[in-house]
Amino acid sequence: NAGVMQNPRHLVRRRGQEARLRCSPMKGHSHVYWYRQLPEEGLKFMVYLQKENIIDESGMPKERFSAEFPKEGPSILRIQQVVRGDSAAYFCASSPFQEHTEAFFGQGTRLTVV
């Protein structure tokens, strides 16, 4: 049973480009959480999704950021018109239930904006 899979592991984008980060949850998990870790800072919640639904996006920046978790395929975190301040590690976690029964994390995507 593969763990939470994130790709790419590393992503370099120029300012103004779009970044798409993918997360495939563990088999049987229908709840996905995205967290961001800025350099020298702790992890912060961004968004919580179930299949085809955004449940809580209170941690998402109001502009340029969006997330989806379609019926088929991975969850996508999309950042439009990236800026240097978006450079961070983005982690996805999945759960079979609404509560984090155990924290299953992916390896993260390290986004660098140049």
The binding site for another protein (CB under 8 A) comprises 31, 33, 35, 41-45, 48, 55-56, 59, 91, 93, 95, 98-108, 110
Minimum gap (Å) between residue 100 Cβ and another protein: 5
Distance CA 36, CA 59 (A): 10
Nearer to another protein, 15 or 51 (CB): 51
Question: What string of H, E and C letters represents the secondary structure of 43-96?
Answer: EEEEEEEECCEEEECCCCCCCCEEEECCCCCCEEEEECCCCHHHCEEEEEEEEC
Nearer to another protein, 58 or 72 (CB): 58
Minimum gap (Å) between residue 107 Cβ and another protein: 4
Nearer to another protein, 17 or 57 (CB): 57
42 neighbors 30 (Cβ within 8 angstroms) = no
